[in-house]
Structure 1
Amino acid sequence: MNEIAMASDGQLGSLDAIVSSLEAVEQTLQGVLAARDGLLALASRVALSIAEENGGVEASDITLRNVAAELAGVLRVSDRTVQRRMADADLVVSWFPQVWAAQGAGRISAGHTRVIVDAGSHLQDPDARAAYAGRVLEFAVEESPNRLRPIAQRIAEQYQPRSLGQRHQDARATRTVWAKDADDGMAELGILGPAVLVHGVYERLTGMAKTNEKLVEPDAAGEPDERTLGQRRADIALDLLLTGAPAGHDTDDGLLAAIVPQVSITVPVATLIGAEGVDTPPAELDGRAPIDPGTARRLAGAASGWDRVLTDPITGAMLAVDRYRPTAAMRRHLKARDQRCRFPGCGMPARNSDLDHTLDAALGGATEEDNLEDLCRRHHILKHHTPWQVEQLGGGLLEWTSPLGRTYIDRPPPQNTITFTDTDPPPGAPPWDRPGITSRNRPGITPDAWANAPAELLAPF
């Protein structure tokens, strides 16, 4: 029996009121989102106007960065994100005003707007865009964004002045590969390329995975391989990318095939020497994503050298970084301290950033830890070519002041380490035997594991 049919008139009336209220709230929310796009588009136009009046068109990029950084401080997001939003909003407002107005009135959602803009962004003629948008909006007010996508693409194709083949040649220039961190020590690898090649790759992986399933025998313990088809695809793809040779691009002497991947990993010493399954903090990949201890130990065992990061056992603050090359100690110290670009909200890894003098060396700034920070190239340029100012407050704290006088504090990320609550442990006591250790970061190392650890791993203690 359908229970909803047995509901009372009062219950049905309440449900109807909820649906009506939700509809009204959704319309208001979409209008607010459209208003936000309007403000972002206006900010973009103001920035361009400032650039044209003062520095010319060539100054527009740095001016846009400056404005985006100002907005990012208020929104508490990366200024790269804000600048992308500004560009996207200006595209909607300038190229598709009908669509922006429809969203502002609550007739369509932001999802509908993205679908319409994505399908029609290649239409250069204003009249063609207006005609396209008018036709698609008739469907948008009735259909979901997912259903609207093929309709919008079909209608946009009718207004394209160039053939699909010609446009595909231009689109090939956007091919790229990217990586995105996921939870639990995982990450995603994406590829944007010609559809026939990408689907060909996928079909080849599928064929390899199915054939592998038929060929693999039970292991020595008699256990069958229970991987799914998707897991086999992933394993084979990673194996090919990490060990295969790019035959179509390599040199005669195999220069590209000789390149091996390099990653930086931070592993607490307690995790490095602990037995499997004990309660120790995970390792970290490039200061971004956690990885399981087993993988970290295998990589550490194969490494040709380590940077040892010494931390305070009570506060967890970084004290020093040392290795056998003292001439690079300062650089390693700052990379380990900063881990990423030190502009507020930026997540660019420190390994891809510039080492910058807070007070310029040309103005007498010393080359020392308290006058250096890692800045990605984007924010390095922003610091030197806009009114943004930065000051070292000590302990790695940076105070940024925007052109509007707003201040933002950027703190170095916490170190991936273990801290202890007892400030005066017994002399010679190993970390696992120190009193006052908190349950949150208890190492969980047995005395046997500690006693059997290599001597070089115990040096920090």
Structure 2
Amino acid sequence: MFEGGGFGVGVTVNTLDEPSWPPSILPPGVIERPTRLGELMPVRSRTDRELAAEVQRVDQVDAQLTAYRAQLVAELARRRPDSQDRQIGEPGAASPDGLPAPGREAAPGVSEFFADELAIISRCSRTAATKQADLSVLLVRHLPGTWAAMADGRLDRPRGLALAAELLAPSREVEPHVLAAVEAAVLPGARELPVRRLQAAVRAELLRHDPAAADRRRRQAARAADVAVRPMRDGMAELSVFLPREMADTISRTMDRYAHMAKADGDSRGIGQLRVGVLYDLVTRPWDTSRPPVTAHLTVLAPPDALRGPASTPTAELNGEAITAAHLRALLEELDALCPGGLQAPAGGTLHLALTHPATGALRAVVTRAELERLARRGCPQHPDGQCDCPVLDRPPPVGRYRHTPAQERFVMTRDRTCRQPGCRNSAGWADLDHMRAHAEGGATACENLCCLCRRHHRLKTHAPGWSFSMTSDGVLTVTTPSGVTRVTRPPGYDDPAVRAAQLEDEPAPF
């Protein structure tokens, strides 16, 4: 009998021998899937009180699973010591400029590349994996009371992780006995506190035990100030700024006052729109002529008829995000790219045309408008009448040296657009063109063997033990971690049905 009411039967089936014949075909309309918990423990048959009790039990199990996961991650981290990394001064070591900002580096004693492996295992970003790894190591090694409370189901997951997160940055500089004292002071009442009050209590205890360390952390955090953009739906984006509190308050008050001034002058837009407009004007207006101009590189993908399609049809992409044809037309007009005589380069910019395979989307060639016009006029040199199917344009040819050509760089960066490590979104403009098969081992300097990897993941591929990288001629990259997890990434826009079917066969079930 299950707690809270209801009966169930549990059956365990172990496969003794693999069948020597193909599995039987299910009848039409019958699908095979795992049994769902709601089928084992029917939800609709429960009373309100039983539903509430079951939600509480799920929360309890969630905390226990989180503690168990922390154990798993911490143990895997223990098996990836930083002694395996290239040390400062050795070839392939991280340069001082490439080191993470204070508080963002790997946990003490853990390899700098462990977060990359965990990101592939968990199908998340390296930033999220870094946080997972750091919190797991902190809970298991330095906050045994908090970990035990979660493992026993006495402290829920949000409060346990909030407590640990507040101690994560301090744990890198304060003595272990300070962490123990803060945990001992806060943990007994943590279950009854709202999450924000729990976080405030942790910060207060840290200040009480080590105020000098708090000042050092504040200075370190100020050095980590940054601005980030996250794409959102419907052509929008989210701009986030990490900065000192006094600066944030000043910016907020300034935007708010200017927005209310515009509202008082009769602007009918909402106050939020006005704040955004004020911020944009303050940042982009040419008030400081002593600074050099800056430009942005945009990758626009569109079929030839995109500019003539219905306004509501999403037929193009801008930097990987879907937009409508109307949005595309407005953007091109704003960039002065749609002009008499056809598509031209924006003022002060360049224009490259990417030609792709009509069925798979694989990149075939990248040319300028002038090159395309020249090739169109010349045609096939073997058949001047033009009555042939001979290719006159393809990817740049291989070269017999280590350094790639400018044409190869243009092709590979257009094909990849970002670092190709699974989960990494660093722009190709900041990436290296790496030989998938090392040049010293016979790898050709050819587009089929070159791939965009940011400097971090270039170093990972070259120097981190146990990793495996391979790539097809169309740029389909396969990465395998030291723990045996394999992920496949395809160039943006590439969609070979045969490759996708093979990948789906190899993918583990998502449970």
TM-score by length of structure 2 reads: 0.67
SS at match of 2:209: coil
Q: Deviations over 1:34-61 (max 9, x none)?
A: 1111221222222127649x98999897
Deviation at 1:163, TM superposition (A): 7.6
2:138 is matched with: 91
Task: Give, as a single letter, the amino acid of the residue that structure 1 aligns with 2:141.
Answer: S
Letter in 2 for 1:310: L
Residues 332/276 of structure 1: CA separation in 2 closer, same or farther (3 Å cut): same
Give the 3-state SS of the residue equivalent to 1:414 in structure 2: coil
- Which residue type is aligned with residue 111 of structure 1? P
Q: How does 1:12-411 map to 2 (within 5 A)?
A: 14-48=47-81, 51=84, 64-79=111-126, 81-121=128-168, 122=170, 124-162=174-212, 167-215=217-265, 225-245=267-287, 254=290, 256=291, 258-270=292-304, 273-274=307-308, 277-285=311-319, 287-288=320-321, 290=323, 292-302=327-337, 303=346, 304-323=349-368, 324=370, 328-386=406-464, 387-404=466-483, 407-411=486-490
Count of residues in correspondence between the two structures: 388
| Per-residue deviation, residues 71-104 of structure 1 (Å, max 9, x unmatched) | 4443333455434421222123223221121122
- Structure 2 distance, partners of 1:23, 1:405, is 36
What is the CA–CA distance in structure 1 between the aligned matches of 2:300 and 2:494, rounded to whole Å? 9
One-letter amino acid of the counterpart of residue 119, structure 1: E
Letter in 2 for 1:226: S
Structure 1 residue 227: deviation in Å? 1.1
CA contact under 8 A between 1:272 and 1:296: conserved in structure 2? no
Q: CA RMSD in A?
A: 3.3
Deviation at 1:288, TM superposition (A): 5.0
Q: CA deviation at 1:66?
A: 4.7
What's the counterpart of residue 451 of structure 1?
none
- d(CA) in 2 for partners of 1:129, 1:363: 50
- TM-score scaled by structure 1? 0.74
> Could you tell me whether the CA contact under 8 Å between 1:272 and 1:297 is conserved in 2?
no
The one-letter amino acid paired with 1:398 is: L
Would the aligned equivalents of 2:428 and 2:452 in 1 still touch at CA under 8 Å?
A: yes
Q: Describe the shift of the 1:15–1:86 C-alpha distance in structure 2 as closer, same or farther (beyond 3 A).
A: same
Q: 1:163 to 1:367 in 2, by over 3 A?
A: closer
Contact 2:417 2:427 (C-alpha < 8 Å) held by counterparts:
yes
Q: CA deviation at 1:190?
A: 1.5
Summarize deviations over 1:164-194 as a string: whole Å, max 9, x none: 6565334322222222222222111112222
Alpha-carbon displacement from aligned partner over 1:204-231 (angstroms, at most 9, x marks no partner) = 1111111122335xxxxxxxx4211111
Distance (Å, rounded) in 1 between the aligned partners of 2:286 and 2:142: 45
Superposition deviation, residue 271 in structure 1: 6.2
The CA deviation at 1:151 is 3.2
2:158 and 2:87 map into 1 onto residues whose CA distance is 37
> Following the alignment from structure 1 to structure 2, what is the Cα–Cα distance between the partners of residues 237 and 166?
31
CA deviations 1:319-353 (Å, max 9, x no partner) are 21111589633222212211222223322222221
Whether the 8 Å contact between 1:267 and 1:296 is mirrored in structure 2 is: no
Shift of 1:161: 3.7
Structure with bigger helix share is 1
Deviation sequence 1:223-259 (CA, Å, 0-9, x none)? xx4211111111111222223446xxxxxx71x3x32
What amino acid is aligned across from residue 410 of structure 1 in structure 2?
T
Q: 1:70 to 1:175 in 2, by over 3 A?
A: closer
CA shift digits 1:253-291 (9 cap, x unpaired): 71x3x3224131313144652267252414312x35647
Deviates more, 1:175-184 or 1:165-174: 165-174
CA 1:406–1:137: 2 relative to 1, 3 Å: closer
For 1:193 and 1:69, the matched residues in 2 are separated by 27
Whether the 8 Å CA contact 2:59–2:157 is kept in 1: the answer is no
* 1:116/1:334 CA distance change after superposition, 3 Å: same
The offset of 1:31, in angstroms, is 0.7
CA distance in 2, matches of 1:390, 1:306: 32
Taking a change above 3 Å as real, the CA distance of residues 178 and 101 of structure 1, as seen in their structure-2 partners, is same
1:413 match: 492
Is the alpha carbon distance of 1:155 and 1:65 closer, same or farther for their aligned partners in structure 2, counting shifts above 3 Å?
Answer: closer
8 Å CA contact retained: 2:77, 2:110:
no
**CA positional deviation for 1:160:** 2.5
Q: Secondary structure at the match of 2:423?
A: coil
Instruction: Determine the C-alpha separation between the residues in 1 that align with 2:418 and 2:221.
Output: 32
Q: Which residue of 2 aligns with 1:452?
A: none
TM-fit CA distance, 1:158? 2.1
Partners of 1:207 and 1:146 in 2: CA distance: 29
CA separation of 1:144 and 1:209: change in aligned 2, threshold 3 A: same
Which range is displaced more, 363-372 or 293-302? 293-302
2:354 partner amino acid = V
Letter in 1 for 2:264: K
| Distance 1:34-1:261 versus aligned 2 partners, 3 A rule | farther
Paired amino acid for 1:259: P
Aligned to 1:344, what secondary structure does the other structure show?
coil
Q: Which moved more, 1:120-129 or 1:23-32?
A: 120-129
Distance of 1:151 and 1:13 partners within structure 2: 39
CA distance in 2: counterparts of 1:265 and 1:282, whole angstroms: 11
Tell me which amino acid in the other structure corresponds to 1:228. G
Identity of aligned residues (%): 27
- 2:226, 2:243 within 8 Å by CA — same for their partners in 1? yes
Consecutive unaligned residues in structure 1, runs of 5 or more: 1-10, 217-224, 247-252, 417-461
Paired amino acid for 1:237: L
Distance change in 2, residues 1:415/1:232 (3 Å): farther
- Structure 2 vs 1, CA of residues 191 and 288 (structure 1 numbering), >3 Å: closer, same or farther? same
- Within 1, Cα distance between the matches of 2:224 and 2:71? 28
2:206·2:214 contact (CA, 8 Å) conserved in 1? Answer: no
Taking a change above 3 Å as real, the CA distance of residues 86 and 271 of structure 1, as seen in their structure-2 partners, is farther
